[in-house]
A and B are shown apart, each in its own frame.
Chain A
Amino acid sequence: MDKFSLLLVEDNEDDRFLTTRIIKKLPFAVDLEICKNGDDAFKRILTNSLELPALILLDLQLPKMGGIDLLAKIRGTYTAKELPVIILSSSDNPGDIALCKELGISGYLSKPPELQALLTHLQMVLPLSPTPQ
């Protein structure tokens, strides 16, 4: 069975709980890493560049470094510039969406995500074997 490492960047405890719960329902094994703010997440990506997560689930409204800033910084690195990122946000501000798309994202989901929507997006990015379980 496939196992994928995901990095969840989320400051709100409730959202972390709800999102984690959804992720646990995914039909494949997930190695979930969590960062509570953008600075930690960026540090994590820089310090352990050999073991990068397969995908980042990124909240936009973060303390200190915001989600869009983090995304821009990731796209600016050498090692992680092509890392797939799915945005989780409660905002559907067209400006934010456009900005994220410009920087390169694999999906934009409202938060907490619905299981089916999340799965659909992950299937498009991750090399999942068809209909596991």
Chain B
Amino acid sequence: MPTLSQIFGSGLSGKLRSSFRVRLFTGITVVILIVCCSFATLLFYQQYQAQLDKRESEGSLMAKLLARDVRLAVFSGNRDEIILAAKGTMSLPEVQSVEIYDPEGLLIARLATPADDSARYSTFRELIPGLLNVELEKSLFVGKRWGSAPDAAIGSVRIVVDESKAEAHLHRLIITVLTATIIFITFGILAAYLLAKSMTRPIIELSECAAALKDGNDSVRAPIETSDEIGHLASSFNSMVDAIRLRTRDLEEALEELYQLNIALEDKVAKRTSQLENANRELESFNYSASHDLRAPLNRLTGFCEVLKEEYGDRLGKQGLHYIQRIASTGDQMNLVLSAMLTLYQVQQREMSPRPLDISELATAVAASLKQRESDRKVEFVIEPNIIVFADMKLIWLALENILGNAWKFTKSRDDAKIEFGRLGNDGETVCYVRDNGAGFNMEYYDKLFTPFQRLHNFEDFPGTGVGLAIVQRIISRHGGRIWLESNEGLGTTCYFVLQQHERIKEPLAEGNIHG
């Protein structure tokens, strides 16, 4: 059995079809059915009633006429006349029998056709009036038969009418009404179907267009077949599609433009970045090869100082030997600088292998090695134990060597030298610090602090290469951390540094970011 939706079509908008079209069709059909049935019922009832009334009135009229016809004959007792009148009535095809009675109820005359058992019969009775026009007829038959009651009935008639003919008529009526109703309903349903179809077709087409639009086809056009509301809807839809296409094109153009701009920008950034990287790499490799290439002649220089001292020392005199010593120590100083430059380079290039480590232990070891180097100095180290950081051991060792080395160096003129290493709790990150009560520096020159070869003190007072803090800063920045210093001239310096959590530690950077 095909379902309704199969009959009415399926597909993309099958649901809509089945729901809307079927609902419309069903609605119209139900209305037609109700109207037709009630109309037919009403018609039939009305016809039936009319038939009934007609039969009733015809029957009683027949009885009344017969009663009148036989009045005089009954009155005069003329039997032939009575039979004649009865025969007249019997000539009507639907009459089955005619009976005439006297006032006492005794049968005077009876005419009948054979009764049919299956037929239905109606019986009509009528009294035969004694006087019709009392004054006139009294004068004619004064005192004849009915003394005190002249207008009393002088008998009665009884007519039995066969209903089958009338029923046949009624049957015909029923058949006619039913046929008419069925024909009407059939045409009505057909019309309803066509109407529903023609009404829903543009809507379905429109909804298919909308679905196509949703799927990205912005060249759809809804057909405009009528000038009614649906036609208006279709034309509105079309202009909406046009607007969407226009807007989409604008948007796509804007996007394309943005994309091009983006690409251009990325190109520019990439170019700049690679330029910067190249420049940095060149700088780094220059730094590296300079420190390398300078070392060989420097070694020769100090080598020849040695040769000179050994072979001509006795002829140079004390002053001459002193000068040679000055040349040699200048060479040594230069060697230190070259080493520091190399370290700076290597800090940047080193493959980091960070792991959790006890920086307190490292600090203790560095302090011990400082004490060993200058065992005549008396410096109090206060080191907070168990500070764990996530870092590359060798780099952090180097950083601590420089930071603690600075503290050591700048407290040399104090007898109560004290160097503290500890930690501050600060918003969940670990801030380590190294505090000394040494010479300190003028915060005015803070900017120069991390620049390689920038020194804030005289070499004679505090010898050094001027690269130490630059190395420290690179190490800290490679760990994704920060470093800063606070100092009071004559009172001491505190160096703070934060190391990043391990997941954010940076890979080796191409750019040699020396200044934080």
B23 within 8 A of A: no
Complex Cα–Cα for A90 and B292 (A): 7
Q: A14-B300, A15-B300, A112-B300 are in contact. Are A21 and B295 (CB under 8 A)?
A: no
B299 adjacent to chain A (CB < 8 Å): yes
Q: Which residues of A contact B295 (CB under 8 A)?
A: 90-91
What's the least CB distance linking B340 to chain A, in Å?
A: 13
Q: Which of B299, B307, B342 has a CB less than 8 Å from the CB of A21?
A: B307
Nearest CB of chain B from residue A22's CB, rounded to whole Å: 9
> In this assembly, does B323 line the interface, its C-beta being within 8 Å of a C-beta of chain A?
no
B292 A18 Cβ-Cβ under 8 A: no
Closest to B350 in A: A94
Cross-chain contact B292 with A112 (CB below 8 angstroms): no
B296 interfacial contact with A, CB 8 Å: yes
Task: Give A92 to B342 CA distance when docked, in angstroms.
Answer: 9
Cβ distance B438 to chain A, nearest Cβ, rounded Å: 32
**Taking the complex as formed, is B304 at the interface, i.e. its CB lies under 8 A from any CB of chain A?**
yes
> Residues 66-103 of chain A: 1 if any B CB is under 8 Å from the residue's CB, otherwise 0?
00000000000000000000000011111000000000
> Please, what's the 1-or-0 string for A1-44, where 1 marks a CB less than 8 Å from any CB in chain B?
00000000000101100100100000000000000000000000
Number of B positions contacting A (CB below 8 A): 10
Rounded to whole angstroms, the CA-CA distance of A110 and B295 in the bound complex is 10
Report B288-330 CB contacts with A as 1/0, cut-off 8 Å: 0000100110011001100100000000000000000000000
Could you say which residues of chain B place their CB within 8 Å of the CB of A94?
A: 346
CA distance A61 to B299 in the complex (A): 15
**Across the interface, which residues of B come within 8 angstroms of A93, CB to CB?**
292
Question: Closest CB of chain A to B476's CB: distance in Å?
Answer: 23
A121 in the interface (beta carbon within 8 A): no
Residues of B close to A15: CB separation below 8 A: 296, 300
A110 touches B299 (CB 8 A): yes
State in angstroms the CA–CA spacing of A12 and B293 once bound together: 13
- A91 to B14 alpha-carbon distance, docked (Å): 84
Apart from the given pairs A14-B303, A21-B307, A90-B292, 15 other A-B contacts in the complex at a CB distance below 8 Å: A12-B296, A12-B300, A14-B304, A15-B300, A18-B303, A18-B304, A18-B307, A91-B292, A91-B295, A93-B292, A94-B346, A111-B296, A111-B299, A112-B299, A112-B300
Beta-carbon nearest neighbor of A93 in chain B: B292
Question: Looking across the interface, which residue of chain B has its beta carbon closest to that of A13?
Answer: B300
Which one of B295, B296, B307 has the highest number of Cβ atoms from chain A below 10 Å of its Cβ?
A: B296
Q: How far is the CA of A42 from the CA of B292 in the complex (A)?
A: 26
Cβ-defined partner of A18 (8 Å) among B300, B342, B346: B300
Docked Cα-Cα span, A17 to B467, in Å, equals 34
A→B interface (CB under 8 Å): 12, 14-15, 18, 21, 61, 90-94, 110-112
Q: How far is the CA of A93 from the CA of B343 in the complex (A)?
A: 11
**In the complex, which residue of chain B has the Cβ closest to the Cβ of A21?**
B307
Does A90 lie within 8 Å of B307, measured CB to CB? no
Query: Across the interface, which residues of B come within 8 angstroms of A18, CB to CB?
Result: 300, 303-304, 307
- Chosen A-B contacts, 22 in total, with CB atoms closer than 8 Å, are A12-B300, A14-B300, A14-B303, A14-B304, A15-B300, A18-B300, A18-B303, A18-B304, A61-B296, A90-B292, A90-B295, A90-B296, A90-B299, A91-B292, A91-B295, A92-B342, A93-B292, A94-B346, A110-B299, A111-B296, A112-B300, A112-B303
Cα separation A14 to B296 with both chains bound (whole Å): 10
Q: In the complex, what's the smallest C-beta–C-beta distance from B197 to chain A, in angstroms?
A: 86
The list of the 8 closest CB pairs from A to B, nearest first, reads A90-B296, A18-B303, A14-B300, A90-B295, A112-B303, A91-B292, A90-B299, A112-B299
Shortest Cβ distance from B338 into A: residue: A90
Give min CB distance, A11 to chain B, whole Å.
Answer: 11
CA gap between A70 and B1 in the complex, in Å: 96
A25 to chain B, nearest CB (A): 10
Q: Give every chain B residue within 8 A of A111 (Cβ-Cβ).
A: 296, 299
Give the distance to chain A from B8, nearest Cβ to Cβ, in Å.
83
Cα(A82)–Cα(B307), bound, Å: 35
Q: Which residues of A contact B300 (CB under 8 A)?
A: 12, 14-15, 18, 112
- Chain A residues with Cβ below 8 Å from B303 are 14, 18, 112
**In the assembled complex, which residues on chain B have CB atoms less than 8 Å from the CB atom of A21?**
307
Say how far A92's CB is from chain B's closest CB, in angstroms: 8
Mask: chain B, 275-295; 1 = CB below 8 Å from A; 0 = not: 000000000000000001001
- Name the CB-closest residue of B to A95: B349
| B339 CB → nearest A CB, Å | 9
Given the complex of chains A and B, what is the CA–CA distance between A15 and B346 in angstroms?
27
Q: Which residue of A lies closest to B298 (CB)?
A: A90
**Bound complex: CA A18 to CA B295 (Å):** 15
In the bound assembly, the distance between CA atoms of A15 and B303 in angstroms comes to: 9
In this complex, the member of B299, B342, B346 whose beta carbon has the largest number of chain A beta carbons within 10 angstroms is: B299
User: How near does chain B come to A14, taking the closest CB pair, in angstroms?
Assistant: 5
Question: Closest approach, in angstroms, between the C-beta of B31 and any C-beta of chain A?
Answer: 97
CA distance A92 to B299 in the complex (A): 13
Look across to chain A and name the residue whose beta carbon is closest to the beta carbon of B301.
A14
Tell me how far the C-beta of B378 lies from the nearest C-beta in chain A, rounded to whole angstroms. Answer: 34
- How far in angstroms is the closest Cβ of chain B from A95? 10
- In the complex formed, the residue of B with least CB distance to A18 is B303
Most chain B CB within a 10 A radius of its CB, from A12, A18, A93:
A18
* Residues on B with beta carbons closer than 8 Å to the beta carbon of A90: 292, 295-296, 299
Chain A hits for B299, CB < 8 A: 90, 110-112
Instruction: Name the residue on A nearest B291 (C-beta).
Output: A91
CA distance A91 to B291 in the complex (A): 9
Complex: A42 Cα to B346 Cα, angstroms: 33
